[in-house]
Structure formats: C-alpha cells, structure tokens
Amino acid sequence: MAAVTVLRVIDLEHDRPHTLSDLADLLTPWAIRVAVTLRLPELIDEGLTRVDELADRVSADTVALGRLLRLLACRGVLVESTTGEYALTDISREMMSESARKWLDLDGAGNRLEASYSGLLESIRTGEAAYPKTFGCSVWRDFESSSGLAESFGAYLVELAGRWGPELVERYGWSRVSKVVDVGGGDGTLLGLLLTAHPAMRGVLVDLPATTLAARRRLAAAGVLDRCEVVAGSFFERLPIGGEVYVLAQVLHDWPDAEASAILRRCVEAAGEGGRVLVIERVRCTGRPGQPVDEALAAMDLRMLLLIGSLERSAAQFARLAEDAGLALGSQAVIGEFSLLEFVVRASPARSAKSVRLSVSAGN
C-alpha cells in the first residue's frame, strides 16, 4: 500500500461523546453500518485507498461514496490524506472483527433489532415492546421465519457464550454433576464445553425444532453427541426429568415476569426436590451510577423493553421470581460481566401461583 500523508487525526478522547450533538447524532452510526456492510475497512486494508477504486469494487456511486468516506474521516473512523487516499484507524480496524460484522451489518440480525428503536417513545409511554408494532410479530416469530436472521443472531449468541462459557466450566462444581439439562441451549455451544471438560457427564439440550439441527451438528463436531440427548420442545412445556442441574443461560432476561416465572416452574417440576437450577444472567446492581458496567447494563435494559417488553433484573428481582417458583438461592458468583445464581428446589415448593402455559406459537 502506498504511503499516506495524514491530513487530520481526530482525538476521540476514549471514543466517548461529550456534547449533545455527539450524543444525539444518528448519521454517524448509520454511516458506520454502511461501511461495515460494504466491507470498506477490509478493502482499504487490502490496498484500495481511493474513492474510485472502492466505488468500483462495491458497485457504488463514486461521488456519494466519497461523501460517506469524508464524514467517516471527520468523525475519526478513517484518516484522509492530502492526496485523497484513505487509511484505517483503530476504530475502523475494529469494524473488521467478526463481532462488529455480526452486530453492525445492515443485512444481519443487529440491524433488524435496532430498526425498532424508532418506537422508543411509545414503549416509554406504554411499557410495551416496540418490535411487534414495527414488524407485526414478536422477535422470536420474526427470526423463526428468516433463516438469515436466525443464523446471524445465533452467531452472536455463540460468540457471547464463547466468552463466558469456559469460565463457567471452571468456576462451578461440575464434578459432582452426572447429568445436566441445558434449557433453551441454542446450538449447543455451552453444553459442548461442559461435556468436553467432564467426560463422565451426560447432557440434555432442550430448544425449538428449528435450533436442534444446529445443536446436533455442533455437539457431534465436539465429539460429545453420544453422551447427549437433543430434545425439540419449548421451555414453557414439560421438561425432561432426571437432571441434577437445569441451566438457564441468558434465557430469563428475554421474558417478562409472568413468562420467566413459568420457565422457572417448569425447571422446578423437572428437577424435583433438592434439584438445582443455574441462572446465568447480567444482574443489575445498586453500585455507583456512571460505571462502565452499569452503563452497559442500562443500555441493555432499555433494549429489552424495546425488543421484547422484558428487562434486566436485580438480584432481589431474581430472588422474588425464584421464590414464587419454589426455589431458594444457594450461591452466587460473578463470571465476567454475568452472574451465576444457583437456586435449589425447596422441600415444599410453593404451588399457589397458577402455572402459565404458553405454546411455541406464542413466541418462544
């Protein structure tokens, strides 16, 4: 690649906006997503540094693309030379990562989810999700109808589980568990890690029929399918019995309280007296506002309202849900940005609350 004479370098001060204009800007986020979708950082990294070269490669209007690149340079995403060539910054190099592509590509699940953000005002007024009003159906039904969206969202979940899954395998006392049931286990990433680390353990994965094929493939690739049963079903229906531990990894935050309680009760019914339910979730704390973790959790909490009408919960809120389902908190640990809550089925579970039965068609 030819040497580039730098015309401007933007100091983003840790990439944190400080003005109202920065905070309210909508154009720059969309410009970044377009650049990711067109793979502009990758092309610049390959040596295509001029607007006409890039426009030719991505089949774009040269003048229009030049306007996009100029804005990205002004915002510090790219660097423009005195000769009209473009180079990458740390930010645009980050845009080439798989995680950035999964979330920012306009053809992927991330954009589909964020398209409902325009309904935030209505969600604040009503406390209801904006996504169904934007697209005419729930997130789950929408993704179920599109293999592309489902695959894109699944890839994001796999990446997330890959970050905290190994620590979960190390931190919990799995050596005393002979059979684990992963409820809503997706494509089997977590269960594969558990069974690989513990050769004597057997597992059961429960998820919707559309997901179980991918789960069988991943578990087979991990070499553990012979020790695992993959069950097509809903966690709102009866779950397989006989497990010592029932795992709910980032399941409950996808549902409002009534549905979350129903899922926990299904786990209690299947686990029986003394059985354990592991809940892996972000837990909203009461720490000092403004800390990075609190800030990220606040954003996720608002997203859950917009997308599903659910929420990120505090430890006290999880405890109330668990108590209503007949569970008592046994232990709590921190795993990266998540918390591991171990609940134990009480000797005399409270059954006063009417069990909520929801079908797959209702949106799991």
For residue 245, pLDDT beyond 60: yes
Q: Would residue 198 show up in a list of annotated catalytic residues for this protein?
A: no
From 14, 18, 198, 253, active-site residue: 253
Inside any domain, residue 219: yes
User: Has residue 2 been placed in a domain?
Assistant: no
Q: How many domains does the chain have?
A: 2
Q: Tell me the per-residue pLDDT of 169-179, one tens digit each, with 9 for 90 and over.
A: 888 999 889 99
Sheet containing 228-232, strands listed edge to edge, beginning at the edge strand earlier in sequence: 228-232, 202-207, 179-183, 245-249, 276-281, 338-345, 327-335
> How far, in Å, CA of 52 to CA of 58, rounded?
10
Task: Classify strands 338-345 and 327-335 as parallel, antiparallel or unpaired.
Answer: antiparallel
Mean pLDDT of 114-131: 94
User: What 3-state class would DSSP assign to 10?
Assistant: coil
In a domain, 263, yes or no: yes
Residue 198 covered by a domain? yes
Shared domain check, 196 and 304: yes
* Separation between Cα atoms, residue 310 and residue 88, nearest integer Å: 39
R_g over Cα of the chain? 23
Task: Name 175's Cβ contacts closer than 8 Å, sequence gap at least 6.
Answer: 198
Residues 186-192: what's their mean pLDDT?
A: 93
Tokens in use for 238? 């009866």
Least confident span in 78-82, 285-289, 342-346: 285-289
Torsion on CA atoms 12, 18, 23, 26, rounded to nearest 10: -30
What is the domain-level CATH number for residue 224? Answer: 3.40.50.150
The residue range of the domain holding 50 is 20-106
3-state secondary structure of 219: helix
- Same domain assignment for residues 99 and 158: no
CB 272 within 8 A of CB 345: yes
Under 8 Å between Cβ of 343 and 274: no
User: Which among 106, 138, 165 is the end of a domain?
Assistant: 106
Predicted confidence (pLDDT) per residue in 43-67, tens digit: 999 999 999 999 999 999 999 999 9
- Answer whether residue 172 is part of any domain: yes
Encode pLDDT of 268-277 as tens digits: 999 999 999 9
Nearest-CA neighbor of 44 among 2, 75, 107? 2
The answer to whether residues 211 and 297 belong to one domain is yes
Examine residue 7 and state whether it is found in any structural domain, yes or no: no
pLDDT at residue 357 greater than cutoff 60: no
Looking at 42, 77, 106, the residue that finishes a domain is 106
Q: Which amino acid, one-letter code, is at 353? A: A
Q: Sorting pLDDT into bands at 50, 70 and 90, what band is 159? A: confident
Do the domain assignments include residue 317?
A: yes
d(CA 244, CA 98): 36
- Provide the CB-side half-sphere exposure for 238 (13 A, CA): 4
Q: Please indicate, yes or no, whether residues 264 and 183 belong to a single structural domain of this protein.
A: yes
Residues 217 and 338 in one domain: yes
Q: Which amino acid is at 29?
A: P
Q: How confident is the model at residue 6 (pLDDT cuts 50, 70, 90)?
A: very low
Output 12 or 213, whichever has higher pLDDT: 213
pLDDT of residue 7: 37
Is the model more confident about 47 or about 99?
Answer: 47
Instruction: State residue 55 phi and psi, 5-degree precision.
Output: -60, -40
Question: When comparing pLDDT for 191 and 3, which is higher?
Answer: 191
Indicate whether 220 and 293 sit together in one domain: yes
283 within 8 A of 256, measured Cβ to Cβ: no
Tell me, what's the pLDDT at 65?
98
Are 166 and 102 part of one and the same domain? no
Does residue 114 fall inside a structural domain? Answer: no
Q: Residue 53 is part of a domain; what is its CATH number?
A: 1.10.10.10
101: left (phi over 0), alpha (psi -120 to 50) or beta: alpha
Give the pLDDT confidence score for residue 3 in this predicted structure: 37
Structural contact between residues 263 and 236, judged by C-beta atoms closer than 8 angstroms:
yes
> CA–CA separation, 171 vs 287, rounded Å?
24
Write down the mean pLDDT value for the chain.
Answer: 87
More confident residue, 334 or 361: 334
What does the pLDDT average to over 13-21?
Answer: 65
d(CA 309, CA 342): 25
Does 5 score more than 60 pLDDT? no
- pLDDT more than 70, % of the chain: 88
Residues 152-178 have a mean pLDDT of 84
